Amino acid sequence: MSLHVAVSGWLLGTHSGANRRLLALLTHVAPLLARDERITVLHRADLKVPQLPPRIAFAPVAIAAGPLWRRALGERWRLRAALAQLGATVCDHGFLPTPTVTTPLALTIHDVRDLDGHGRRARWLAQLALRHAAARAQCIVVPSEFTALRVRSTAPGARIEVVGNGVDLTGRGVTSDAVQGPLLHVGHLESRKNLDLLLRALALMNQDQRPELWLAGADAGCGETLRKTAATLGIAERVRFLGIVDERSLTQLYSRARAVVVPSRHEGFGLCALEGLAHGRPVLVADAAALPEVVGDAGIVLPAEQPEAWASALLQLDDSNDARARRRRRAEHYSWANAAARMLAVWRSLG
């Protein structure tokens, strides 16, 4: 039987690390497909279909992106029939709850923030959902060894495959004024990102040494609080809220950054840390979740609750050519081409 993967794409269209990962994987898996292998992305009708290689097809299906209860009902009523109509041999799904389908299911779990108390769901509910997912999915795909360990501790019988994120090193240059550029954080403004630590670290610096902090990402509930905190600390003029940034602008931001800062208390991977390394920039991360795993010895790992340590490290950045080369060598461990090959191997094993 030839492989035909149906990818659940109801959430495409919103700017997130999960969607950036999915689009990158699809782009790089296309040239790896055998002649009798196909991929179809199922999507809601109002999606502006992204430009992907011609080997990737798109098919609208009446399943809403949200709210969650509506999406779950849509999957229950329509997903099984859509898979049958396509003749799909594998269903690739990237979010909870897990649908009931007869087609072999590969489920991607990007992080376990709820399980570790950094999300909106109670821990007991997160445990229940994960065990339920493990019972329905033939394979659970995770982006890091850290996430694999956490999933395995809750669902010990699940088949788990690690398919990391990637980065394209081509054209990842650095501008000449990056040493005096801003600090850059890329990601939603939400509590688990621990962004108030950066504000407190800036406040500890002398005014003439204090860099700007640029926050690129959607406000997921903490924007107003961060603005008030910055004002209270007297550093409001040093913090810029950029909102959602497109891919081209994001590349320019990385190239201009003095350093990339990721103080998050929980990340299933930490794509912005990897992208910072790919640009050769100093990358400072919290000693939490998957972040130390991603940066290895090429990043600076700091306590997640000590702004003093962050302030000190930000004043002693190494931006030598040797340091830049070391960071890029670390980023070379992760490529979208390798990730796509591993994802395709998972699909083939199920289909």
Reported as a single tens digit per residue, the pLDDT across 24-72 is 999 999 999 999 999 999 999 899 999 999 999 999 999 999 898 999 9
Say which residue the tokens 């445990």 belong to.
Answer: 127
Rounded Cα gap, residues 92 and 141, in angstroms: 10
Residue 71 in tokens: 């999406």
Residue 173 has pLDDT above 80, yes or no: no
User: Which pLDDT band, with edges at 50, 70 and 90, does 180 fall under?
Assistant: confident
Domain ranges in the chain? 4-166+335-350, 178-331
Judge if 4-166+335-350 and 178-331 fold alike in CATH terms: yes
Is 181 within 8 Å of 201 (Cβ atoms)? no
Q: 351 falls in which pLDDT band (50, 70, 90)?
A: confident
Contact 197, 261 (CB under 8 A): no
pLDDT average, residue stretch 139-150: 97
pLDDT for 171: 61
Q: Which CATH superfamily is domain 178-331 in?
A: Glycogen Phosphorylase B; (3.40.50.2000)
311 pLDDT above the threshold of 60 = yes
Residue 1 binned pLDDT confidence (cut-offs 50, 70, 90): low
Say if residue 176's pLDDT is above 60.
no
Q: For a pLDDT cut of 70, what percent of the chain falls above it?
A: 97
Give residue-wise pLDDT tens across range 76-121: 999 999 999 999 999 999 988 899 999 999 999 999 999 988 988 8
Q: Is the pLDDT at 174 greater than 70, yes or no?
A: no
| Average pLDDT for 118-147 | 93
Tens of pLDDT, residue by residue over 270-293, are 999 999 999 999 999 999 999 999
Q: What is the mean pLDDT of the chain?
A: 94
**∠ at Cα 59 (53, 65), nearest 5°?**
105
- How many residues does this entry show for the chain? 351
Q: Could you tell me the two tokens for 206?
A: 């002398």
How far is the first Cα of the chain from the last one, in angstroms, to the nearest whole number?
A: 8
**Which has the closest alpha carbon to 184: 52, 289, 279?**
279
Rounded mean pLDDT, 172-185: 76
Is residue 19 over pLDDT 60?
A: yes
For domain 4-166+335-350, give the CATH superfamily.
Answer: Glycogen Phosphorylase B; (3.40.50.2000)
Strand order in the sheet with 139-142: 56-60, 38-43, 4-8, 90-93, 105-108, 139-142, 160-162
Q: Is residue 149 over pLDDT 70?
A: yes
pLDDT at 314 over 90: yes
Alpha carbons 294 and 283: distance in angstroms, whole number: 11
Residue 185 has pLDDT above 60, yes or no: yes
Q: Say whether pLDDT at 175 is over 70.
A: no
